[in-house]
């Protein structure tokens, strides 16, 4: 692949089952027959209470974990031990703590690390780094040390490390954790501009509504709902039954109307 705006790929998860060896639990599996499809370029939120299996599911999407049964496909490629190297060129995970992904002396070296390991060198590598940093609004930051960036900037730099490999699917774990409102807006703008398929694992329900038209609700290792995010969040009884609660005073319907309302000039 050449450096540039990544193009999305479909994700198909079929009857996925997984349990951690030796885990003491009253369930037979952390993931218990999870099935769903995400279209190329779609933005989907994965919601659910603590312990629902969200992060475990995320780690299956690029082969960090291997299912006991069932399958994950990225496009036409089955995720397996045999394909994991190629899958990791196509599926990028962005972890909750950006410091888990930023470990080199400079931001530019961090962004270059992935594509360099896959054989990119010279002008091509420089182009990938420059393009990825531009996509997340960090032009001119290549020589800065990651620890000198704000948390919001570090989170965008972590996304740049994925974009530099022209991934087709981006999976983010709690991307808004500890971000201030300005950093949240900057992150939204970054993600909204991407052509890649985006899957967001989050407890931040207003952010899920803002970014993802569709949501899956995972509880007890199973998908218990799949539909328009606004519609799911508006069902307070269903949400409460699955350990999810909107912030006090937040109305999904009002939020959606505000987003869709055209801007008008105030009367003099």
CATH number at residue 213: 3.40.50.300
pLDDT in the model for residue 259? 61
Residue 22 belongs to some domain of the structure: yes
pLDDT at 57: 95
Specify the pLDDT at position 250.
Answer: 72
Is 116 part of any domain? no
Boundaries of domain holding 199: 11-97+168-260
Residue 86 has which token pair?
A: 């190629």
Q: Which two tokens stand for residue 74?
A: 């990225």
By CB atoms closer than 10 A (0-12, 13-18, 19+), residue 116 is: middle
CB atoms within 10 A of CB 113: 17
DSSP letters, the chain, are --SSS-----EEEEEEEE--TT---SSS-SEEEEEEEE-TT-EEEEE--TTSSHHHHHHHTTTSS--SEEEEEETTEEPSTTTHHHHTTTEEEE-SSGGGT--SSSHHHHHHHHHHHTT--HHHHHHHHHHHHHHTT-TT-TTS-GGGS-HHHHHHHHHHHHHTTT-SEEEEESTTTT--HHHHHHHHHHHHT--SEEEEE-S-HHHHHHH-SEEEEEETTEEEEEEEHHHHHH-HHHHHHTT--PPTT--HHHHHHHHHSPP-PPP-
Residue 258 confidence (pLDDT) above 90: no
Write the Ramachandran bin of 154: left for phi over 0, alpha for psi from -120 to 50, otherwise beta.
alpha
pLDDT band at 28 (very low <50, low <70, confident <90, very high): low
Q: Which two tokens stand for residue 231?
A: 């519609």
User: Does residue 144 fall inside a structural domain?
Assistant: no
The residue assigned the tokens 């002396």 is: 105
Give per-residue pLDDT as tens, 203-219. 999 999 999 999 999 99
Residue 113 pLDDT: 94
Q: Note whether residue 195 is domain-resident.
A: yes
Higher pLDDT, 109 or 181: 109
Read off the pLDDT of residues 79-128 as tens digits, 9 standing for 90 and up: 999 999 999 989 999 998 999 899 999 999 999 999 998 889 999 999 99
Is 156 a member of any domain? no
In a domain? residue 70 = yes
Task: Report the share of the chain in percent with pLDDT over 90.
Answer: 63
Q: How far apart are CA 213 and CA 47, in angstroms?
A: 13
pLDDT surpassing 50 at residue 265: no
Give the separation between CA 118 and CA 2, rounded to whole angstroms. Answer: 12
Distance CA 106, CA 157 (A): 11
Average the pLDDT over 134-149 and give the result: 92
Taking only the tens place, the pLDDT of each residue in 35-88 is 999 999 999 999 999 889 999 999 999 999 999 899 999 999 999 999 999 999
**Residue labelled with tokens 């350990």:** 243
Q: How many domains does the chain have?
A: 1
CB-CB contact of 156 with 138 (8 Å): yes
163 falls within a domain: no
The per-residue pLDDT of the chain, averaged, comes to 87
Within a domain: residue 27? yes
**Gap between the terminal Cα atoms of the chain:** 54
Q: Quick one: pLDDT at residue 7? A: 72
Are 155 and 76 within 8 A, CB to CB?
Answer: no
């Amino acid at each position: 692949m050449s450096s540039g705006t990544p193009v999305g790929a479909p994700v198909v998860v079929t009857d996925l089952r997984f349990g951690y060896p030796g885990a003491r639990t009253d369930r037979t599996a952390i993931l218990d027959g999870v099935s769903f499809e995400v279209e190329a370029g779609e933005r989907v939120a994965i919601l659910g209470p603590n312990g629902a299996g969200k992060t475990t599911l995320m780690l299956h999407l690029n082969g960090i974990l291997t299912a006991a049964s069932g399958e994950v496909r990225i496009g036409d490629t089955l995720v397996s031990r045999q394909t994991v190297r190629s899958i990791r060129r196509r599926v990028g995970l962005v972890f909750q703590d950006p410091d888990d992904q930023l470990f080199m002396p400079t931001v530019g070296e961090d962004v270059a690390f992935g594509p360099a390991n896959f054989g990119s060198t010279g002008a091509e590598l420089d182009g990938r780094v420059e393009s990825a940093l531009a996509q997340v609004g960090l032009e001119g930051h290549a020589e800065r040390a990651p620890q000198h960036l704000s948390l919001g900037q570090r989170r965008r730099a972590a996304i740049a490390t994925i974009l530099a490999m022209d991934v087709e699917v981006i999976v983010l774990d709690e991307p808004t954790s500890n971000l201030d409102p300005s950093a949240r807006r900057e992150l939204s703008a970054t993600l909204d501009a991407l052509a890649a398929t985006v899957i967001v694992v989050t407890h931040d329900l207003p952010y899920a509504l803002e970014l993802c038209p569709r949501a899956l609700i995972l509880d007890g290792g199973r998908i218990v709902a799949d539909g328009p995010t606004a519609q799911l969040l508006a069902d307070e009884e269903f949400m409460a039954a699955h350990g999810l609660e909107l912030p006090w005073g937040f109305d999904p319907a009002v939020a959606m109307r505000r987003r869709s309302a055209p801007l008008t000039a105030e009367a003099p």
